[in-house]
A and B are shown apart, each in its own frame.
Chain A
Amino acid sequence: MRIIEGQGVTKYFGGLAAVSKVDFYVDQGEIVGLIGPNGAGKTTLFNLISAALPFKSGEIRFKGQLLNGLKPHKICKMGLARTFQETRIFADMPVFQNVLVGASFGTPSRISSADAAREAAQELEFVGLSAMSAIPAKDLTLVDQKRVEVARALATKPELLLLDELMAGLNPTEIGETMELVTKLRDRGITIFMVEHVMRAIMGICERIMVLHHGEKIAEGTPQEIASDKTVVEIYLGE
């Protein structure tokens, strides 16, 4: 079943099309990758899906419901969560409270503070950060801050999780650990749609990959198909 699909999604910034007539879909339970050179429109597409940016052309449906015109908080409550390229944690708040925000407000119906606290503790445990609960988020290392973002998004009980360059800035060990984390997420039943530059991660965990270039989708397929696709190799070598 398609958990999310988009048709003809287009976004202009001034005269430039950042995303141009993109069709995409993700099936439930999949891990799908979104790659492309810098400026290809990947994060923009994510911003359109999560309603961080508005768009007028095209349609995006999540679990059959039209996302056009909805605000981010409504979309979150529908079960779609995301992390951000620039790691948007609540810097001055302790790690626990960061995740508590997701737990408290991300569910469609109101949740008691005791339940929210329990949920937050669980997700912190899942990403392995329970020991850091009381530390202000800004004092954490980059890889741990990204885990906080993941835990926070998880606390909103998503069915689809958008990961925006989760591996950026991590060293090889950290990349390996994060790859394991993503697989664990899928094993929990969460569908993953991820933007990545780190090829090892994309090839290693994605079942299907979409390639964007200058805002247009130019290729789609399994990792092997994409790796051997001439156009894709060209645009990456030409970079």
Chain B
Amino acid sequence: MQITTFISTHRKLLIGGFLLVILILLATLPFYGPDIGVRENIIFKIATILMYAVLAVSWAMFSGVIGYMSLAPAAFFGLGIYITAMLWGEVPLVVVYLAVMICCFALAMLIGLVTLRLKGIYFAIFTFGLVFLISYLFLYYELNVLHQPGHTNNNPISTQTLYFIMLGLAVAALFTAYFLRRSRLGLAMRSIGGNEAAAAHMGIDTTMVKVLTFAITTLFMGVAGATYGAAMSFIDPATAFSLDYSFKPILMAIFGGMGALYGPVIGAIVFPILEFQLSSDFPLYFPIIFGVILVLTVLYLPGGVAVPIQRLGTKLWTRLTAKGGEAEQYANN
């Protein structure tokens, strides 16, 4: 059949085109739709989905490939929020972003250089406690230096601005993940994930690769936090730092599947929607459900839902192309 051959030869072009259409739809979303109140609500929800997509994709970029379990997203996301709380209003947003990126990168390099040259457990221990460590430091700072609980944001960015920045960030994160796979650094990362000792013996400076990759992923987390913080009206360590911001992105990435680029994105769509639906009536149930899903996924579907999706896709494709072949044979006889 001509259609299937057309699809297979122009596969990349078609996928790119499809994604471009989605991007255009998303980009123009704030400008059409029902009345403003409802629209604002929906835009905010999608912005939240995009934010989680950034966190899940950047988490998967490191932990999914290299295999070291990082529990750090909450720490760097919170750092982004809190630094914004301190600087936003005094300096332009771009400067805030710059400050956030520098801090995140420096902190990630420090942690990485100390813990990543050792076995994975130290890294896991440290990143687990990091969110508490930083939030307590800022709490101390507020109590004893500022003598003021929290920061008020007198000029929060609009939901639309939040939405567009998050959209841009998500696209950037996906692009980075995509090109990383194909790059030299990506090859080094995958070989470390495959067998770290062998990778080291092939000339790869495994410590530097791990540290650099980790640091790059924290940039996305920090900037996502900074943007979110700029939209919040009140920020204190309790609101900025929460283990939830590690748990949910990890859940999303694992559930969606880290082997595919779209895996974390699937998770980032499914779970916030679940939460939106359940949080008003069953605020305590959905965390339990999320926890159960994480445990079940780890146990029974370690590659995430991307695995059965991919298998289904291959099956459908083979059916389509096989049928087409048969039809051609009949047609030509």
Contact = CB atoms under 8 A, between A and B. Distances in A.
User: Do A and B touch, yes or no (CB under 8 Å, in the complex)?
Assistant: yes
Size class of the B contact interface (CB-based, 8 Å):
10 to 19
B38 interface: no
Shortest 9 CB-CB contacts between residues of A and residues of B: A90-B194, A105-B203, A88-B198, A106-B203, A72-B200, A76-B203, A88-B195, A101-B191, A102-B202
A90 B190 contact: yes
Contacts of B162: none
Given A101-B187, A104-B187, A73 B205 contact: yes
B184 interface: yes
Q: Which residue among A92, A104, A107, A152 has the maximum number of chain B CB atoms within 10 Å of its CB?
A: A104
Interface of A: 50, 52, 71-73, 76-77, 81-82, 84, 88-93, 97, 100-102, 104-107, 113, 152, 156
B195 A90 contact: yes
5 contacts: A72-B200, A100-B187, A104-B187, A105-B188, A152-B202
Interface string B184-210: 100110110011011111111110000
A129 B273 CA distance: 49
B209 to A, nearest CB: 10
A84 B194 CA distance: 14
A105 B205 CA distance: 9
A105 B204 contact: yes
Contacts of A50: 201
Given A101-B187, A104-B184, A91 B203 contact: no
Nearest to B117: A71
A82 B201 contact: yes
A88 B194 CA distance: 9
B78 to A, nearest CB: 34
Interface in B122-171: none
Contact of A90 (B191, B200, B206): B191
A1 B159 CA distance: 73
Nearest to A77: B203
Contacts of B204: 73, 101, 105
Q: Which residue among A50, A88, A101, A113 has the maximum number of chain B CB atoms within 10 Å of its CB?
A: A101
A150 to B, nearest CB: 13
Given A88-B195, A91-B194, A106 B184 contact: no
Contacts of A81: 201
Nearest to A155: B202
B194 A73 contact: no
Given A88-B195, A91-B194, A92-B194, A73 B187 contact: no
Contact of B198 (A84, A92, A113): A84
A89 B188 contact: no
A102 B187 CA distance: 11
Nearest to A50: B201
B187 to A, nearest CB: 6
Given A93-B190, A101-B187, A73 B206 contact: yes
A53 to B, nearest CB: 10
A88 B197 contact: yes
Nearest to B188: A105
Contacts of B201: 50, 52, 72-73, 76, 81-82
A101 B202 contact: yes
Given A90-B190, A113-B184, A101 B199 contact: yes
A81 to B, nearest CB: 7
Nearest to B206: A73
Nearest to A81: B201
A97 B201 CA distance: 16
A176 to B, nearest CB: 27
A76 B117 CA distance: 18
A100 B203 CA distance: 12
Nearest to A157: B203
A102 B205 CA distance: 13
A34 to B, nearest CB: 18
Given A93-B190, A97-B187, A105 B198 contact: no
